[in-house]
Structure 1
Amino acid sequence: MKNARYLPLLYCLCWGGQALADTPLDLSHPAAPTAHIDITNVKGEVSITAWNRNEVHVSGQLGNGAEPLTIEGSENNLVIKVQAQGHDGWLNWGGDKAMSSSTLDINVPRGASVKVNVVSAPLSIDGIDGGDIAVNSVSGRVRINAQTPMLDVVTVSGNVAFSGHARQAKLQTVSGDILAPSLGQSVDLQTVSGHIQASGGPWDHLGLSTVSGDVQLTGGLAPNGNISIDSMSGDLQLQFPASLSSNLHATTFSGDLRSDFGTPTRPEHGPGSTLDTVAGGGNGKISVETFSGDLRIRKGSD
């Protein structure tokens, strides 16, 4: 019977803890059609969806131990930041240990530019049309479907998947994979061990660098465009249109080099292969260097 007296108290404590852990969010703020929106969440998940309203709306759940969430700033510049109580600094470092996960479901104007900082929070961005997108992530996956003039994503171990179209794109990972089938005129791709699968163009500029990640790249070169690719041990498979117009230089120290454009040559003594050829009118420049990875240069259809 004595235990029965504590049951109501335990019941209230359990429900009180649940309420703290799952504080619902319902916040709104007027926003300009091309507003700049800065979003930070250390732990949990962030989902950003564009809509046809001049308003930012935040729903979801705020984690226990986080400061009350507000949308700060003016209609042109807004800040949404999940911050642990008693913590501050870059990305609220260390705050992930002081609070539980927060889930942010955010609606923004379709033409807005967004800058997102996350640590272990998966991120999705859908429907942006016209605004710039910048993402800094540590371990969360990043998925983006947008039409953007400028895409800049940096992540450590999270995979990056982009669809839509980006006129300029800069994608960098350490061990995360990059999947980007619709890249525009200017592109920079960099990874250490993550795989890269990308296509698009025609490219005025494309720079690609990998250490051990494999690469599959398909696309065309703009007139007088430039492509520069280097790899240490990752295998490279490149496909260009049959109508390619470019000077083409490729070399590998110990990997196997094969090309549908021109015939590689091997030195009389020692390893390695080199390709120097002109495709079409030679109106661009392509340079590919790999140390031990295999290199395939294929001719696709126009």
Structure 2
Amino acid sequence: MKIVFLLFTLIFITNASAGELIDKTISVKSLEHLLINNLRGDVEVIGWNKEEIKIQGELDDSALGLKIKDKGHKLYIKVKMKGDSHLGDGSDLKIFMPSKTSVWFKGVDTSFSFNNLKSGIEGRTINGDLIIQEAQQKVNVSTVSGDISIKDSNGVLSIESVTGTVNFSGEYSKAYAKSMSGEIFAKIDNIEILKTENVSGKTFIEGKLQEDAYIKLTSVSGDIKYKTVGELNAACKLESQFGGKIKNKITKDLPEKSMMQQQKLNFVSGDGSGKLIINTVTGSVAIEE
């Protein structure tokens, strides 16, 4: 009886580890949008100069197959699953696509990475990391429990993670970042508008502001630190509403303290052409060169 059970177990494990291998190439001459839907696994997307889509990888053993719909200006790629099955290791795909085509993605237990895309990235996953490099135009992405990393990109940025760390660098006209309990790190250059929202995680921003830039950094209990590159030309308004401290290492201006352990500091740095607002409820604030 034990031998039969062991044989059955071995057969089950062997079957569970096997998934359909994918190697497809699709010619696309007028493709504007690529849509990717993968319930779980890892998806790597790379932009190139060819007018074709190349898909390589292995499907989840619970997958029914890879569904592809070509509508001329749109191409839809979906890993079709057996109902709500949670068996298997996920579908791992590597997709090459025209760099001038925009991409939309969706996943649940899925991590995505994107490289060299010039027409925008938009989408969300629930339990997965997002890695983006050399993206242009608009990036609008979110995850619940994963980390987000964006490097060497430019354009307009909107990113959100509930529990993960958000880390981005590049040259953006506008950028918005939000986290609940994760940390926010940013290294920016010549930004026009930057807004961050955090609840309990720390926020650290480093970079040079454009003339007339608008920066607003907020948190509930997380500490906030801003480090300027070069001279800071901004009217600064800093506030910790209850119990936090304000440290100003740019000028000699000192914060005002109230009976309710509140600290405020308003001052002008340089020509005051920009605006820097940092507000936290119970966290601390620091600015430095």
**TM-score normalised by L of structure 2:** 0.90
Could you tell me whether the CA contact under 8 Å between 2:23 and 2:55 is conserved in 1?
yes
SS at match of 1:213: coil
1:117 alignment partner, one of 106, 119, 124: 106
Mapping of residues 123-202 of structure 1, within 5 Å: 123-128=112-117, 130-202=118-190
Partner residue, 1:92: none
SS at match of 2:15: helix
Partner residue, 1:90: none
SS at match of 2:66: coil
**What's the CA shift for 1:194?**
0.5
1:17 alignment partner, one of 15, 18, 31: 15
Q: 1:169 to 1:282 in 2, by over 3 A?
A: same
Q: 1:126 to 1:268 in 2, by over 3 A?
A: closer
Report the Cα distance in structure 2 between the residues aligned to 1:288 and 1:16, rounded to whole angstroms: 56
**What's the CA shift for 1:226?**
0.9
Mapping of residues 1-302 of structure 1, within 5 Å: 17=15, 21-32=18-29, 35-85=32-82, 87=83, 95-97=84-86, 101-128=90-117, 130-253=118-241, 254-262=243-251, 263-267=253-257, 269-299=259-289
Q: 1:242 to 1:98 in 2, by over 3 A?
A: closer
**What's the CA shift for 1:127?**
2.1
Residue segments in structure 1 that go unaligned for 5+ positions in a row: 1-5, 88-94
Could you tell me whether the CA contact under 8 Å between 2:212 and 2:273 is conserved in 1?
yes
**What's the CA shift for 1:269?**
2.8
Q: 1:214 to 1:14 in 2, by over 3 A?
A: closer
**What's the CA shift for 1:208?**
0.6
Q: 1:208 to 1:56 in 2, by over 3 A?
A: same
Report the Cα distance in structure 1 between the residues aligned to 2:194 and 2:86, rounded to whole angstroms: 40
Could you tell me whether the CA contact under 8 Å between 1:113 and 1:132 is conserved in 2?
yes
**What's the CA shift for 1:153?**
1.2
Could you tell me whether the CA contact under 8 Å between 2:217 and 2:224 is conserved in 1?
no
**What's the CA shift for 1:106?**
0.8
Could you tell me whether the CA contact under 8 Å between 1:47 and 1:105 is conserved in 2?
yes
More strand, by proportion: 2
Q: Which amino acid aligns with 1:113?
A: S
**What's the CA shift for 1:147?**
2.7
Could you tell me whether the CA contact under 8 Å between 1:48 and 1:105 is conserved in 2?
yes
Runs of 4+ more than 6 Å apart: 13-16
Q: Which amino acid aligns with 1:156?
A: V
Structure 1, 54-63 or 96-105: larger mean CA deviation: 96-105
Report the Cα distance in structure 1 between the residues aligned to 2:14 and 2:145, rounded to whole angstroms: 36
SS at match of 1:17: helix
**What's the CA shift for 1:156?**
0.4
**What's the CA shift for 1:266?**
2.6
**What's the CA shift for 1:28?**
1.9
Identical aligned residues as a percent: 23
Q: 1:33 to 1:281 in 2, by over 3 A?
A: farther
Q: 1:14 to 1:171 in 2, by over 3 A?
A: closer
RMSD: 2.5
- Number of residue-to-residue matches in the alignment: 283
Report the Cα distance in structure 2 between the residues aligned to 1:270 and 1:75, rounded to whole angstroms: 63
